[in-house]
Chain A
Amino acid sequence: MALVNPLPVEPLPAYAIDDASGLDLAAVRADFPILSRRVHGRRLVYLDNGATSQKPRAVIDTLLRYYEEGNANIHRGVHFLSVEATEAHDQARNIVQRFLNAASANEIVFVRGATEAINLVAQTWGRANVKSGDEILVTAMEHHSNIVPWQMLCEEKGAHLKVAPIDDSGELILEEYKKLIGPRTRIVATTHVSNALGTVVPLKRMIEIAHSRGVPVLVDGAQSAPHMRIDVQALDCDFYAFSGHKVYGPTGIGVLYGKHALLEAMPPYQGGGDMIASVTFEKTTYKKPPHKFEAGTPDIGGAIALGAALEYVNQLGMDRIAAHEHDLLAYATEAVGAIPGVRLIGTARERAGVLSFILDDVHPHDLGTILDNDGIAVRAGHHCAQPVMLRYGVPATTRASFAVYNTREEIDLLVQGIQKAREVFA
């Protein structure tokens, strides 16, 4: 689709790019073609990165090149293109391994996204290890994707879902968490960063506590992988799930990391081609992980483009990205928080990527429409985290969520938009 009336890339005002990150923001923005699109006649201000991030030229070009020049099925052919595609796919797995600092590329399973990764663990590890009367512990700030798969498993097995509570600021209450890990707890499934509140949980401590009682931990990293350096070995988490499309990659591709011994012992997820060692009508034997969990032709182009996205992140430097986003979040928290009638939802000491708030007398949906009319994209709703909304007694919030290409100037436009909404509803 051609861009509608693309705007020339405009120089950014000095204050908008003057933060401590050391990133060349004007150059970063030029990497993302969509940022020159007009929406309702205005330059797009994209602040819905928690839902999905935009894609840099490098990722778009990789997809294009794969389909124009490199398309073939993997692990099948003796022909040139198949070998080339297989190598590129393997290479993408290696890039993911390095991105997470996993011990081996065999611990990286390609899936559709964080949701499928969690479902995979619930349906394989979970069905093999969770029994009637057992308990699964989640936190009060999970996305539905880290609640519902476990509820389905609990229903099937007669197990119980336990919920570690949060305080009013949106921080996990570690003492309560500790108490909830009992002799029947089989797994802890926790978010790393809350998509609705932005809270960064004390993950290393949580994992230590769980492990001291012999309980494995699955981490929903959908909102952490885009914003901070991830080291699954340093964390010592047992599973880590993330979605490619939130970290500048395409939709439809994501990753499940699992410790090799766990993956090895787990039954397969889906059956089909590419996951088998041999098949007869009497008996099928399976490949070793990760292939055991990758039945059928995978999203080859998506995986290769995810590799390009993570390379792009590496090139900018995750520490620089994190520093810039931290600056944006601090700037936005102060500027939005200072608007009369604004109540911030989620004020944990450590947050990443997300500013969630409500505005007196203006419903988030109405605010979302007024902002959209000025070309500002935010999310208005329950953010697939209805229990969080219930915890704060609000039906919905407005959420601005940030990526590397956002600027302080865009936050100023957000603030102006909120002021405008206040005037409309005055």
Chain B
Amino acid sequence: MSNRLLDWCFKKSIWVYHVNTGSCNGCDIEILDVLTPYYDVERFGIKLVHTPRHADALLVTGPVTRQARERVLRLYRAVPDPKLVIGVGSCSTGGGIWHDSYATCGGLGNVLPVDIYVPGCPPRPEAILYGVAQALGLVPKQVEARSFVEE
């Protein structure tokens, strides 16, 4: 019963902690853009917090650099359960252009268990909103792998 209550509360208003693990700041600016009047994510109760211990979700940008890897793991452990990990941008989805660089871990999936990826370079604020809504189970996925074979 208390679990169901927690799940219901969780879907209502997520507090996110934003982490930049080496991104170019494009995704970070778009995340801040989601807070601004035109997209206003605060009407859904989502706000940015300044410590992971208050957060429900980690919003991670960047292709986890070597130095950032240890810190990202510590941040993940600091966020209390239940938690969500959302990887924003092409860099965290698949490493972006830095996928085979010696300085990065090649994307967030190699470091943390990720719940949802929001690809884009940078993703539009609407795409980030959609991604967060999808993480909460409110909207369906709209992409799938496509494969063609010429016989």
The answer on A and B forming one complex is no
